[in-house]
Structure 1
């Protein structure tokens, strides 16, 4: 049974079948009631006509005469299917003072019992009739034929619907496979597109030579850092860095050696810094670092550490060794309303370090 109700066709058509049978049942009972009323009206009309004709005939014949008995039966059969005529007393004439009629159904036929009484209330004639043609039987047969045709039509509808649904299911399965295949292709394409977009984003925000943040990317990130630190009322610092005498590397050893210096310089500092700092190249030999939660005194110490690491770097060239130094300018967010103010202060400190002999750190309080 559970398996049967899993069939979508059965589940869909079962209410239709129930409604159809209910509709046929209601129509059947309603129609039978109508036909029964029609039959009763027709029967009442036949009774009136029969009694009227019988009264006329009764005054012309004697009840003892055999021909009269046959005449009454024949007269009754003009209005009804079957008639049974009985006399109960000997009388020359039928002078019926009272007539009673009992009408009832017997085996779906309408039966009439006529009782004729004389002036002394004695039964003088009894006639039993059966309706000529039972309208109810005829109507029932018609309704049964109609119901049978409706049921056959319903069965054919179920078969056709079931067959059609199977074709639809096959088509849906095929379409679903195509949709799944296309969805898989689109998903794969979107993933590849996402990778490409990430790659393009990295290219747009990464310095192509040193592989750290470029100028644009740095300012996007540092502005966000500044706003976050400001919300929680915590400090942040900026270190501006410039490689000393970088132009000599390019002029003396060529741009290839200059690029090598920039890469080594950037990777050395990047390895030293923690993950929460922002490190970027502003252009040429100028770099910048943003440090959250650091005031200027601790930031100067960090800058000094980086300066000492940088001056220990050695670049080997034919017949010689090259050393790198850098100048540092430091500033923090104290009394600064924007990130641009902090960067400008650090840049001023960097200029001071350059003018004071290079390879040194200068901060706001130094």
Structure 2
């Protein structure tokens, strides 16, 4: 089960939530401070205006007269929401210089207590007023609306982010699946291509008939062997081989039988040789062997062993058995600077073996 939010989304949303609530808190406190100050200022103006209007309107009116009470009530209600008037007859006139006002809050109201005193500081009129804190209430409502809208916006942001994240996760999963499938296909294709390349390499470096190294491949490997042996100051030898009278055999028994002879010949020699030797077909009935770490005397012994094996091969044709022989020329890396020199020396020895009766091994010391 996947998490609702991943770590990256939480890292993104958490500062957003904190900043939003911090912003709302600061706005609320700042606004309420301003609104309270405005409310207090407005209340002070109402008090001053009320006292001023009261002094003007009741200047010639006696406190004992009924009209005085009515006038005070009218003026009070013009400035405040509610008025409670209590009179104490100690004087006929209000002393505007001797008024005490106490202001305090009660629930959602601003309460003003007016104490009108005479010259002897005796209470002659007490008025209590109530005014709703309209500005503060309105400000609270505005802030609440603003806060609600901000929270709704924050919730919508979280929902949209969550939805978008889920969509991205689905897209990423699909993309990852496609990438994995494509990667698997590419990997499979590369493996197949590698197999094809290996086959092509083998085809390019293997003689199609005898399945040993072809001319090009032999020279590449033999030259590499020569360079390595030369660096380590070790010898190597070359054996040149040619099947005797092979053209006549082909003409007599056909190329199909000739191909069988070539396969049998190459297979017999290849099975005899060690893994560190290089065996190749130069073309037609001509073959060549490169032997590392051995001088000409050992190479001649190897060539003689191969010659004897070839002598014993039986080629079965209708109504008779045939036998083949081969001639060998041997040389080593003594006093040579290139692989071509060794091969030329071995080829000269092969030519000498052919001229001296075939089915023999000839080397520089033989």
TM tier, shorter chain? 0.7 to 0.9
Q: For residues 203-229 of structure 1, what are the alpha-carbon distances to aligned partners after superposition, in whole Å with 9 as ceiling and x for unaligned?
A: 222211111111122223333434444
- Alignment partner of 1:135 is 2:135: yes
Instruction: Report the equivalent of 2:256.
Output: 256
Question: Hey, what's the Cα distance between the residues in 1 that align with 2:333 and 2:77?
Answer: 125
Instruction: Report the equivalent of 2:23.
Output: 26
Instruction: Report the equivalent of 1:41.
Output: 38
Q: For residues 150-188 of structure 1, what are the alpha-carbon distances to aligned partners after superposition, in whole Å with 9 as ceiling and x for unaligned?
A: 555665666677677767767776776666666555555
Answer whether contact 1:46 1:79 (CA < 8 A) is retained: no
- TM normalised by structure 1 equals 0.77
Instruction: Report the equivalent of 1:317.
Output: 317
SS of 2:211's partner is coil
When structure 1 is superposed on structure 2, of 206-215 and 175-184 the one drifting more is 175-184
Instruction: Report the equivalent of 2:353.
Output: 353
Question: Hey, what's the Cα distance between the residues in 2 that align with 1:75 and 1:188?
Answer: 99
Residue 310 of structure 1: how far off its partner (Å): 1.7
Residue 263 of structure 1: how far off its partner (Å): 0.8
Instruction: Report the equivalent of 1:7.
Output: 4
Question: Hey, what's the Cα distance between the residues in 2 that align with 1:126 and 1:137?
Answer: 28
Structure 1: give runs of 5+ residues left out of the alignment. none
Question: Hey, what's the Cα distance between the residues in 1 that align with 2:67 and 2:365?
Answer: 153
Question: Hey, what's the Cα distance between the residues in 2 that align with 1:343 and 1:318?
Answer: 39
Instruction: Report the equivalent of 1:332.
Output: 332
When structure 1 is superposed on structure 2, of 279-288 and 39-48 the one drifting more is 39-48
Residue 299 of structure 1: how far off its partner (Å): 2.6
Instruction: Report the equivalent of 1:51.
Output: 48
Q: How does 1:74-113 map to 2 (within 5 A)?
A: 74-83=74-83, 90-97=90-97, 105-107=105-107, 109-110=109-110
Instruction: Report the equivalent of 1:298.
Output: 298
Answer whether contact 1:218 1:278 (CA < 8 A) is retained: yes
CA 1:75–1:39 in structure 2 vs 1: closer, same or farther (change >3 Å)? farther
CA 1:275–1:56 in structure 2 vs 1: closer, same or farther (change >3 Å)? same
Question: Hey, what's the Cα distance between the residues in 2 that align with 1:186 and 1:362?
Answer: 56
Question: Hey, what's the Cα distance between the residues in 1 that align with 2:338 and 2:128?
Answer: 120
Question: Hey, what's the Cα distance between the residues in 1 that align with 2:146 and 2:259?
Answer: 98
Instruction: Report the equivalent of 2:279.
Output: 279
Q: How many residues align?
A: 363
When structure 1 is superposed on structure 2, of 179-188 and 45-54 the one drifting more is 179-188
Answer whether contact 2:20 2:150 (CA < 8 A) is retained: no
SS of 2:16's partner is helix
CA 1:286–1:50 in structure 2 vs 1: closer, same or farther (change >3 Å)? same
Answer whether contact 1:36 1:135 (CA < 8 A) is retained: no
Instruction: Report the equivalent of 1:307.
Output: 307
CA 1:249–1:17 in structure 2 vs 1: closer, same or farther (change >3 Å)? same
Answer whether contact 2:300 2:363 (CA < 8 A) is retained: yes
CA 1:166–1:6 in structure 2 vs 1: closer, same or farther (change >3 Å)? closer
When structure 1 is superposed on structure 2, of 321-330 and 109-118 the one drifting more is 109-118
Answer whether contact 2:64 2:89 (CA < 8 A) is retained: no
Q: For residues 38-89 of structure 1, what are the alpha-carbon distances to aligned partners after superposition, in whole Å with 9 as ceiling and x for unaligned?
A: 3422431441353144135326155666655554554344344345556789
Question: Hey, what's the Cα distance between the residues in 1 that align with 2:232 and 2:63?
Answer: 128
Answer whether contact 1:79 1:132 (CA < 8 A) is retained: no
Structure 2: give runs of 5+ residues left out of the alignment. none
- Taking only aligned residues, the RMSD between alpha carbons, in angstroms, comes to 4.1
Question: Hey, what's the Cα distance between the residues in 1 that align with 2:330 and 2:288?
Answer: 10
Residue 95 of structure 1: how far off its partner (Å): 3.3
Q: For residues 128-168 of structure 1, what are the alpha-carbon distances to aligned partners after superposition, in whole Å with 9 as ceiling and x for unaligned?
A: 55444433332333333444455556656666776777677
SS of 2:256's partner is helix
Residue 21 of structure 1: how far off its partner (Å): 6.9
